[in-house]
Amino acid sequence: MEKTLNSLNPMQSYLTPSEDYTRETSTFTFDFEKVATEIRKLRPELFYKVQSIVEKVYQGRGPGHHMMEKDTLRLESNKLAINTINALYEEEGINEQWIIDNLDEFTRCLMGTGCINASTSTKYSVHYFLYTKSLKNLGTERHKEYLYRAANLTDLGAFGMTELGHGSNVQSVETTAHYDHDTRSFILNSPTDTSIKFWLGNLAKTCSMLVTFAQLFLNGECKGVHVFLVPVRDKETHESFEGCLIGDCGDKLGLQGVDNGWIKFADYRIHKDMLLNKFCDINEEGEYVSAIPKDNKRFAYHMAALSGGRVLAASNGADISLISTITALRFAACRRQFSREKGKEETHILDYPLHQSRIMPLFAKSFTEMVSIQGIWDDYSKMSDQLLDPSNKAGEYFHLVSSALKAVVTWNSYETWKESRLSCGGFGFSFLNHFSELGNTADVNQTWEGENFVLIQQSCKILLKNFANMIRGKKTMKTCEFLTPDSPDDYIFEGSFLNLKDLFKLYTHHANKCVHESIAKIQADSMKEAEERLSRTEIWEKHLFYTFIPMVKIYLSRYTMEAYLHFLKKFKNSPKSKEVMTKVGLLGYLSEIIKFEGIFRESISKEQIDEIKEHCITLCKQLRPEIIGLTLAVPLSDKVFGSIGKSSMKPYYEFMKSVKETPGCFDKPKEWKYLYKSKI
C-alpha cells in the first residue's frame, strides 16, 4: 500500500512517515490508485504541471512571507506569474497562439496556483480571463497585435467594469466615451465621483493596458455600454498618461499582493480603433453600425463574452473548501485532547463523533461540488464559442448552472472554511496554517465575478422561465426536463436513505415541487383583489429570499448529485472503492437534507429526519478509517497546505519549524528599554 501511495503522491517519497501517517494509511479499504487516478483525471494534466512548476518557482519563500512590505508582495506576485509562464513556455512548449486558442483551458490550469498564492492567481485571472479574453471575444482583426502581446505578457492588462457608484448594475456605469469624428477618436471622461473606476486588479501599480466599460456617445446620443481598449501607462517610464489619474484602492481584508486601483479619466483620447468592435463599430462616415440594433441585446452579447469567471470563482471556492477540510481532518487525526477512558492515552479529536460530525460532512459536500464543477469546466471549454451568442440555448443553460453554482458553492465555501478553521482551535488562527489567506479569498469569492445575491436571481429567472416554456408546450433545457407540468402529488419517501439513487429521486421531487410552489405563490399574489394586488416586480422581489433562492439551491444540489452519480460509474469494476465513494456522496447529501429540513418536511417525517441524523453519525464512523486516505487521494500540491495540514502529518514538527523560521521569532524589540520606564 505504501508503494501505491508513493507512486501517486510525490510528496511521500522523501518522508519518514510519522506514526500518525502510518496508522492512518493502514486503515483504508478502497483501491487508492484507482480513486486517486479518477480524481486526478477530473482536471487536465496541465493543471498539475502548473502546480509542480509553482512548487519549484516558489521555493525559498519562508514563513515570514506575509510580513513583506505591500509593494514587495505585489511585485513578488507578478514575478511568480511571469516565472510560471516562462517555465511553461520552456517545459511545455506552449506559445502565444496556443494560449489564445486555449484561453479557457489555460486559465483553468493556472488556477493550480490559486490556493498556493491567491494574489498571483488573481493577477493571472484578471489578465487572462478578463483582459485577454475581452480582446479575444470582443475585439477583431485590428486588435490582434494587442491580443498576442497580452498572451505573452508583453502587456499586462486590467479590467474596468466596476465604478464607485455601480458594481452589479453594469448597464448604469457613468464613464463616458464621446466620439469625435474629426480626430477619429473617443474622449473618455469620468464626469462624476461615482463614475471613478474602482477595484481594478493590476491597475494601481503594474498594468500598462486596460479594457474599460463606458457609455458610447455619438453626436450627443447615448448608444449604451461599450468596451474600449485603453493604454494607461507609458512603458518606458511606467508613468500614467495625462488624462488618466490612477490611484491605489488602499488596504483590503486580504489579497494584499494584488494592486487594486482606481482611475479617473479627464478628456483622455483614444483612437477610434480602440473600440472592441466585434458587435458594433463606427464606420468611415462616422456612423454607428451594429448587426444587433437593440441596446439591451447588444449589452447581453458583450456580457456573455465574459462569462466563465463564475466557474473560475466556483472552482476556487470548492478548492478552498477541500483544502480547509483536508487540513482540519489531517490535524484532527494527529491532535489528541482528553481521554475517553481514565488512565488511557488521550483520544485523537477525529475520533470524537462531535468532531466527525462537524468536519466530515463538509469534506464530503466539498468533494461532490468539486466533481461537478470540473464537469462544468469541461462543458464550458467545449461550448465557449456558442456562449458568445446569449440567445443560444447552450448559453442559457450555462448561465443558469454557472450562476447557481458560483453563488451556492462560494457561500458553502465560506461556511466550510469557517468551521474548518475553528475545528483546528488556536492552530487555525495562526497565519502559518493558511486559513487567513484561504478565508479572505473565500470571502471575496462571494462578491466578485457577480455578487452572489445578484447572480442567483438570474438562475431563479431562467428556471422559472423554463417552467413557463414547458407549460406553453415549448422546448425546455435538458437540465430542466425533470419539471412536470402538473404539481407533483404528495410524496412520502419510501426508498432507502442509504441508496444514492433513491436520494436523487427525493431531491428531484423537491426540486420540481419548489418550482411549483414558486409558481403557485406568484399566481396567488397576481390574483389578489385590485387593492391588494402587487406589481410583477413587487411579487418577484417579495418571494426571492424565502422561496425562489431556496428553489435554486435544491435545483443545484440535484444537479451536482447527478454529476456525482455519473462519477461513481467510473468505479463499477472496483466495488470497495465504489462503496467508499458512495458513502462520501451519501454523507454530503444526507447532511444537506438536515440543513434544508424545512423544504423536505412535506415528504420526510420527523422520525425520518432522526433516522437521517443516525445515518450521518454512522457514515462518519464508517468513513473514519478511510478519510485520511481519501485526503491523500486528492491531488493537491502539499504547498497549498499550512504546517498542520501537510501530508507528512507531523503537525507539531512542521508548525514549530515554521514558527522558528519566521523572521523576528527570537529578536528582542528594538525599544525594549521603554518597557522599564514605569514610574509606579
Ligand X SMILES: Cc1cc2nc3c(=O)[nH]c(=O)nc-3n(C[C@H](O)[C@H](O)[C@H](O)COP(=O)(O)OP(=O)(O)OC[C@H]3O[C@@H](n4cnc5c(N)ncnc54)[C@H](O)[C@@H]3O)c2cc1C
Residues designated catalytic: 449
Which one, 213 or 600, has the nearer CB to ligand X?
Answer: 213
Q: Closest approach of Cβ 446 to ligand X, in Å?
A: 9
What values do phi and psi take at 337, rounded to 5? Answer: -145, 135
Tell me whether residue 343 is annotated as binding. Answer: no
Q: Closest approach of Cβ 110 to ligand X, in Å?
A: 16
The one-letter amino acid code at 1 reads M
C-alpha cell belonging to residue 531: 387593492
Which one, 188 or 444, has the nearer CB to ligand X?
Answer: 444
Which one, 431 or 540, has the nearer CB to ligand X?
Answer: 540
Which one among 86, 95, 168, 499 touches ligand X, defined by CB under 6 A? Answer: 168
Which one, 450 or 588, has the nearer CB to ligand X?
Answer: 450
- Taking CB atoms within 8 Å and a gap of at least 24, the contacts of 467-476 are 467/515, 467/519
Which one, 452 or 466, has the nearer CB to ligand X?
Answer: 452
Which one among 41, 61, 238, 252 touches ligand X, defined by CB under 6 A? Answer: 252
Tell me whether residue 598 is annotated as binding. Answer: no
Dihedral over Cα of 490, 492, 497, 500: its sign = negative
Q: How many CB atoms lie within 10 A of CB 603?
A: 17
Q: Closest approach of Cβ 255 to ligand X, in Å?
A: 6
What values do phi and psi take at 200, rounded to 5? Answer: -75, 115
Strand 261-265 relative to strand 244-248, pairing: antiparallel
Which one, 134 or 648, has the nearer CB to ligand X?
Answer: 134
Which one among 199, 262, 301, 564 touches ligand X, defined by CB under 6 A? Answer: 199
Interaction pattern, residues 114-143, with ligand X; x per rule: CB under 6 A: ------------x-----------------
Which one, 451 or 610, has the nearer CB to ligand X?
Answer: 451
Q: How many CB atoms lie within 10 A of CB 2?
A: 11
Taking the chain, what is the end-to-end CA distance rounded to the nearest angstrom? Answer: 66
Strand 288-289 relative to strand 281-282, pairing: antiparallel
Cβ 40 vs Cβ 635: under 8 Å: yes
Which one among 200, 329, 554, 636 touches ligand X, defined by CB under 6 A? Answer: 200
Q: Residue of minimal CB distance from ligand X?
A: 167
Helix (H, G, I), strand (E, B) or coil at 247: strand
Instruction: Label residues 639-669 b or e (16+ Cβ within 10 Å = b).
Output: bbbbbbbbbbbbbeebbeebeeebeeeeeee
Q: Closest approach of Cβ 250 to ligand X, in Å?
A: 11
Cβ 5 vs Cβ 11: under 8 Å: no
Under rule CB under 6 A, residue 201 binds ligand X: yes
* Element of type H or E holding 71: helix 70-92
Q: Closest approach of Cβ 120 to ligand X, in Å?
A: 14
C-alpha cell belonging to residue 357: 460530525
The one-letter amino acid code at 33 reads E
* Three-state helix/strand/coil letters over 470-525: HHCCCCCCHHHCCCCCCCCCCCCCCCCCCCHHHHHHHHHHHHHHHHHHHHHHHHHH
Cβ 261 vs Cβ 160: under 8 Å: no
Q: Which stretch binds ligand X (CB under 6 A): 198-206, 350-358, 369-377, 581-589?
A: 198-206
Tell me which residues in 432-461 interact with ligand X (CB under 6 A): 444, 447-448, 451, 453-454
Which one, 87 or 454, has the nearer CB to ligand X?
Answer: 454
Under rule CB under 6 A, residue 390 binds ligand X: no
Q: Closest approach of Cβ 163 to ligand X, in Å?
A: 8
Q: Closest approach of Cβ 254 to ligand X, in Å?
A: 8
Tell me which residues in 260-289 interact with ligand X (CB under 6 A): 260
Tell me which residues in 148-167 interact with ligand X (CB under 6 A): 159-162, 167
- Measured between alpha carbons, how far is 626 from 582 in angstroms, rounded to an integer? 12
Cβ 219 vs Cβ 178: under 8 Å: no
Under rule CB under 6 A, residue 316 binds ligand X: no
Cβ 119 vs Cβ 77: under 8 Å: yes
Q: Closest approach of Cβ 199 to ligand X, in Å?
A: 4
The residue count for binding ligand X (CB under 6 A) is 19
Distances (CA, A) of 316 to 98, 283, 406, 452, 459: 24, 42, 10, 15, 20
What residue numbers does the annotated binding site cover? 162, 201
Residues in the site for ligand X, rule: CB under 6 A?
126, 159-162, 167-168, 199-201, 252, 255, 260, 444, 447-448, 451, 453-454
What residue numbers does the annotated binding site for FAD cover? 162, 201
